[in-house]
Amino acid sequence: MMNSETFKVATPSDLEIAMTRVFNAPRRLVFDALTKPELVKQWLLGPPGWSMPVCEIDLRVGGAYRYVWRNAAKGKEMGSGGVFREIVLHERIVCTELFDDAWYAGEALATNVLTEQGGKTTLILTVLYQLRETRDAVLKSGMESGVAVSYDRLEELLASQGTSVKEKGASPS
């Protein structure tokens, strides 16, 4: 991992997983990378070999999102989606999460909180599950390494966006 010292996984309760990562970018760029399909498709891929042929985001309270990942070499596909429950521009996104081939009971609730200090953004993604057994199964699934790889890709994407913003003469903040 590029910035493994800035990526932490914790269990704040029996039902939650909290993942924290610091990005060297203003939070408006991080927010855009979380909410614009053309950007999400570039970084939210998990381990190498996966692509995201479907990325639909209707960014409004009550709007839905849909992701489909594909690993052509393994002949596998995985889809998930949910509904946005709360959106605070550049600060907070709360949405449900449900996989097509649900391997755990019920929906999860994902809360992304972004804070900026000194041009760096801390992203805390907290996922609330309905059962402790589900949370524990997710922790054992290898999810942590997949998220870490995706966040490294996100850091690279943000760095390239910051460069292109500066090249255009616009302020990156």
Distance of CA 1 to the CA centre of its chain: 16
The long-range contacts involving 31-34, CB below 8 angstroms and separated by at least 24 positions, are 31/89, 31/90, 31/91, 31/93, 31/114, 33/154, 33/157, 33/158, 33/161, 34/93, 34/112, 34/123
Amino acid 47: pLDDT: 84
Per-residue tokens: 31: 């927010």
Q: Is 42 exposed, middle or buried (0-12, 13-18, 19+ CB in 10 A)?
A: middle
Per-residue tokens: 94: 């709360």
Amino acid 110: pLDDT: 98
> CA dist 66 to 2, 24, 78, Å?
28, 28, 11
Give the C-alpha separation, 63 to 59, whole Å.
6
Amino acid 6: pLDDT: 82
List the pLDDT tens digit at each of the 173 positions of the chain: 455 678 999 999 999 999 999 999 999 999 999 999 999 999 999 788 999 999 999 999 999 999 999 998 999 999 999 999 999 999 999 999 999 987 787 899 999 999 999 999 999 999 999 999 999 999 998 889 889 999 999 999 999 986 544 433 344 44
Amino acid 173: pLDDT: 41
What are the residue boundaries of the structural domains of the chain, listed by start? 6-159
Mark 102-141 as b/e (b = at least 16 C-beta within 10 Å): eebeebbbbbbbbebeeeebbbbbbbbbeeeebbeebeee
Amino acid 19: pLDDT: 97
Amino acid 106: pLDDT: 84
Which residues lie below 8 Å from residue 153, measured CB to CB, with a gap of 6+?
42, 43, 45
Amino acid 2: pLDDT: 52
Amino acid 170: pLDDT: 42
CATH superfamily label, 6-159:
START domain (3.30.530.20)
Per-residue tokens: 9: 């996984």
